[in-house]
Structure 1
Amino acid sequence: MNSPSVVSGALDGLSELAAELEGSIHLPGSPEYEQEIAPYNVAIRHSPQLVVSVVGVRDVQVVLRYAAAHGLPIGVQATGHGALEPVDRGILLSTRRLDKLAIDPTTRTATLGAGVRWRDVLAAAAPHGLATLSGSNTSVGAVGYTLGGGIPVMGRTFGYAADWVRSFEVVTPDARVLHVSPQSEPELFWALCGGAGNFGVVTEMTVELVEVSTVYGGAIYYTGEHLEPVLRAYRSWAETLPEHTNSSVAMIYLPPPLQGTTLVHIRFCHVGDSADGERLIAPMREVAPALLDEVREMPYAEVDTIHRDPENPVPFYPRGALLTSFTDETIDTLLRVAGPDEPIPMVYWELRPLDAAFHRTPAVGNCVGGRDAAYLISLVGLATPGVLDLTKAGLQRVLTALEPWSKRETIVNLHGSLGDEADRSRAWDEATYEHLAGLKQQLDPAGMLRYGHIIGLNAQHAG
């Protein structure tokens, strides 16, 4: 146990709190505090009154009891990839040291703590010929990603990551420890799978793995001048792909010293025979001269090379929308408002089909939304000083122009920057949101869990 250097008058009872913890407390001004609060999106600046780094379930119970006794809100952070708004008071509960990881090759499951990243699970599962339903960046925390639904690289083949959860261990706001499964706590299980961490602090999760060791996948890059023919070819091509083939298309805006240069990026992942994969990608290889073609047979452990998301923290502003269709007229609109020559301070935008297994209802129901959408568009702009207002206005122009093809609903993990309760509620249909809001009021009536994609935000922030 590491006792804090208690700052007089900061918060009452810190010495007593420290005495109960196996983990550690970090106060503003310490190097450990700065390390713990750092998110992946460096445009977000957390400033909690204290950070508690927990090492076990009992620590989480202690923190929740302390927060309740002192009327403090709590934000939860593991790897920092899910930070969409500042934790500006109360406690930041760091779960990054909950690093339990166990693979059971017989049942094809992984049991993992809240601080485990997908890359750790993937490395442990690969020797058994198994893979995770991770997203485009395996440095993301597995639990937080899954609580938001989880959009896997292999999603057309296997569906959402939340569809493959077996059980959770969760500490509810009143400090109870529950084992949550479809059998033991069916309503809470439904809500945790896609409910964005509103109902407790998840300390452990068991997920089913898939039998995949290699894929035929990678990236093809073209220069930005080829955006229009690539987009038009991609739309027709994507509609023909079998569900074992996953893809997306993106426009990437390169940083200095290459600022002003754009790339078109095809992302491809075929789960199956490499010869079939090579045949399926062939039409996109013929659309325009490739600047770089990295598509090949590859171990699934190299999945990060398909999207090549930035490894280092960057300041960004994200938005997202679900589309009901993607037509020639949609392409015309997208080229007009988000083409290579548009003066929006962009990092990238991506268009991804959400059909095939994404549309299927899982054997055990959950609250993940978006199952009737055709495409997802994700927009990421720069949030550096001096350009954020331009970024916000530019991304809003794109979303407004796409409204004829857009749904009201979004998806939690790629909803983007958060607005008021009406905005946040769009991550679910109205009936699902009403059900989730009722459960939130039942389990967390004081709104202790108050940061992130929170349900009932307006009521929770009152007072």
Structure 2
Amino acid sequence: MESPQTPEPATVHNIVFGALRRNLAGALHEPGVPAYDELATPWNLAVQASPAAVVEAANPGDVAEVVKFAAANGLLVAVQATGHGIASEMDGALLIHTRALDTFVLDVDKRTARIGAGVTWKTILSACEGVGLTGLSCSAPGVSVAGYTSGGGIGPMARTFGAASDRVRSFEVVTGDGELHQVSAQSDPELFWGLRGGKGSLGIITGMEFELLELPFIYAGALFFDAFHVENVLRTWAQWCPTLPGAATTSVAMMQLPPLPGVPEPLAGKFTIAVRYVYIGTADDGATWLAPMRSAGSLLMDAVGPMPSSMIGMVHSDPEDPLPAAEGHTLLADFPVAAATSLLEAAGPDSSSPQLMVEIRQFGGALAQEPAVPSALCHRDAPFGLCTVGVGPPPVLPAFRAHAGDLMTNMSPWAYGGTLPNFSAGSGAAGFAGNYTPAVLGKLTALAEYFDPSNVFRLGQVPER
């Protein structure tokens, strides 16, 4: 397949948005108005977003109009709903904001949900609470379902139920030619494959339908220990988690939380370590499996117990308010005690680590099994993931990134190679490529050439053609 010529990018000042504005049901905001600043700002305040204009799409037709306009005028297109996964600084691009695409239909009998691209997991979980259902949410339920699922969707129950993208039945999507498609495994298997894990490289998802789980309660939460017990907790976790059944999903995080409103007093301003845990089964069985970690040291807080599945966000208690952050991510092939020792040297309480959080997530279980309908989500067999988060004013963020790079080097003896889409947003085309095997990246690139002939979605995605 021959690569089409990409139009030369047009300068912002010679683009007249009047024609586009007249074709929209929603609003178009240019720089200088409050709505532009509100909608253009991503969740990560360290990203300086300067799109040429922001379109607050009122319906899928608006998305199609923007994409057609961008293709005709040599502009790039970006999209955000909550702004958690923005992949680029967006300078000069047209940004489509999808928060107004908030349709939501819950079918309790069929155990499905149909949503617009602006719907968050918080909305889903709240609606499902009274009917005993839940979805495969992420650790931070404030993010959009569509954005999260397009990156595969690996959350706090991944070892038990796999990836959220495996539960999708159909998508409504606008591709790079400005066409609106209804896509399922039956109607368009290739595009359906790429939308589940391709993280926005093939089109803008405007809606989707997915399966829910019958799961009213979980045994879940986090254990917190102080700095004195960090070494023993981390070493014990490294030996304990490989023994867990598929009914359990866990992670461990070394944290330095500031003394701010909302941070529990026992954790504020201290170096602590948290063991996150979700068990699908009885509370007694969940407690039995967790017992080795409960006895790994004196507890500052024990916040693990039976809870409604709608409260799964409490397991990680990720911050909801926007922050300036520098994030790092890599996958690990193993996490033995020797790896725990190396991690302690680079990020433990005696390391002078500047990171707000350094986390190891255990994968495997159902996530490692290929789904019945294949998808573009790669690296399913990676057993562990390493994440870092540094928070501070933009001038100090490069130091956080440098430290994260050194930490990854320290952990290189256990490197798996590669990353996951939802953990590597903002890392550009090279970072995007690291999410996939060469074969999958090649297939995504070929599909992008077909579905995005003007290359309008190339911001931080498949290599520029």
TM-score by length of 2: 0.93
- Where does residue 170 of structure 1 map in the other structure? 173
How far off is 1:348 after superposition? 0.4
Contact 2:249 2:363 in 1 (8 A): no
- Where does residue 33 of structure 1 map in the other structure? 36
- Where does residue 279 of structure 1 map in the other structure? 288
Residue type matched to 2:358 in 1?
Answer: W
1:112 to 101, 112, 115: 115
Deviations 1:421-460 (A, max 9, x none): 44421101111111111111122132201334x0114x3x
**C-alpha separation in 1, matches of 2:323 and 2:24:** 33
**C-alpha separation in 2, matches of 1:38 and 1:12:** 22
How far off is 1:181 after superposition? 0.5
Deviations 1:214-235 (A, max 9, x none): 1111111111221110011111
Deviations 1:255-287 (A, max 9, x none): 257886211011111111111112221221111
Contact 1:317 1:392 in 2 (8 A): yes
**C-alpha separation in 1, matches of 2:176 and 2:426:** 25
SS of aligned partner of 2:213:
coil
Root mean square deviation of aligned Cα: 1.6
State how 1:251-262 maps to structure 2 within 5 Å.
Answer: 251-256=254-259, 261-262=270-271
Identity of aligned residues (%): 39
- Where does residue 54 of structure 2 map in the other structure? 51
How far off is 1:417 after superposition? 4.3
Deviations 1:139-183 (A, max 9, x none): 010000000011121111000111111110011111111111100
Q: Are 1:188 and 2:191 an aligned pair? A: yes
Moved more, 109-118 or 12-21: 12-21
**C-alpha separation in 1, matches of 2:248 and 2:400:** 33
Q: Are 1:455 and 2:458 an aligned pair? A: no
**C-alpha separation in 1, matches of 2:300 and 2:57:** 47
Q: Are 1:443 and 2:451 an aligned pair? A: yes
Residue type matched to 1:254 in 2?
Answer: L
Structure 1: gaps of 5 or more residues: 1-8
Contact 1:41 1:315 in 2 (8 A): yes
2:240 to 212, 237, 241: 237
Deviations 1:88-122 (A, max 9, x none): 11211111110011111122111110000001011
- Where does residue 263 of structure 2 map in the other structure? none
- Where does residue 403 of structure 1 map in the other structure? 412
Structure 2: gaps of 5 or more residues: 1-11, 261-266
- Where does residue 342 of structure 1 map in the other structure? 351
Contact 2:139 2:155 in 1 (8 A): yes
Contact 2:86 2:426 in 1 (8 A): no
- Where does residue 127 of structure 1 map in the other structure? 130
**C-alpha separation in 2, matches of 1:302 and 1:11:** 50
Runs of 4+ in 1 over 3 A off after TM superposition: 9-13, 256-260
Contact 2:168 2:210 in 1 (8 A): yes
SS of aligned partner of 1:310:
coil
- Where does residue 377 of structure 2 map in the other structure? 368
**C-alpha separation in 1, matches of 2:268 and 2:129:** 38
Q: Are 1:215 and 2:222 an aligned pair? A: no
Q: Are 1:434 and 2:437 an aligned pair? A: no
Contact 2:332 2:417 in 1 (8 A): no
**C-alpha separation in 1, matches of 2:287 and 2:407:** 34
**C-alpha separation in 1, matches of 2:310 and 2:239:** 30
State how 1:54-203 maps to structure 2 within 5 Å.
Answer: 54-203=57-206
Question: 1:46–1:416: structure 2 CA closer, same or farther, 3 Å change rule?
Answer: closer
- Where does residue 326 of structure 2 map in the other structure? 317
Residue type matched to 1:446 in 2?
Answer: S
How far off is 1:245 after superposition? 1.2
**C-alpha separation in 2, matches of 1:385 and 1:49:** 23
**C-alpha separation in 1, matches of 2:435 and 2:425:** 10
**C-alpha separation in 2, matches of 1:339 and 1:417:** 27
**C-alpha separation in 2, matches of 1:408 and 1:119:** 33
Contact 1:318 1:417 in 2 (8 A): no
Contact 1:44 1:84 in 2 (8 A): no
Deviations 1:177-196 (A, max 9, x none): 11111000000000000000
- Where does residue 306 of structure 1 map in the other structure? 315
Contact 1:317 1:417 in 2 (8 A): no
Q: Are 1:382 and 2:391 an aligned pair? A: yes
How far off is 1:415 after superposition? 2.5
- Where does residue 3 of structure 1 map in the other structure? none
Contact 2:50 2:90 in 1 (8 A): yes
**C-alpha separation in 2, matches of 1:305 and 1:241:** 21
Question: 1:174–1:385: structure 2 CA closer, same or farther, 3 Å change rule?
Answer: closer
Deviations 1:194-246 (A, max 9, x none): 00011111100111111111111111111122111001111121111111111
Contact 2:79 2:86 in 1 (8 A): no
Contact 2:327 2:401 in 1 (8 A): no
**C-alpha separation in 2, matches of 1:104 and 1:260:** 45
The one of the two structures with greater contact order (alpha-carbon pairs below 8 A, sep at least 6) is: 2
SS of aligned partner of 1:373:
coil
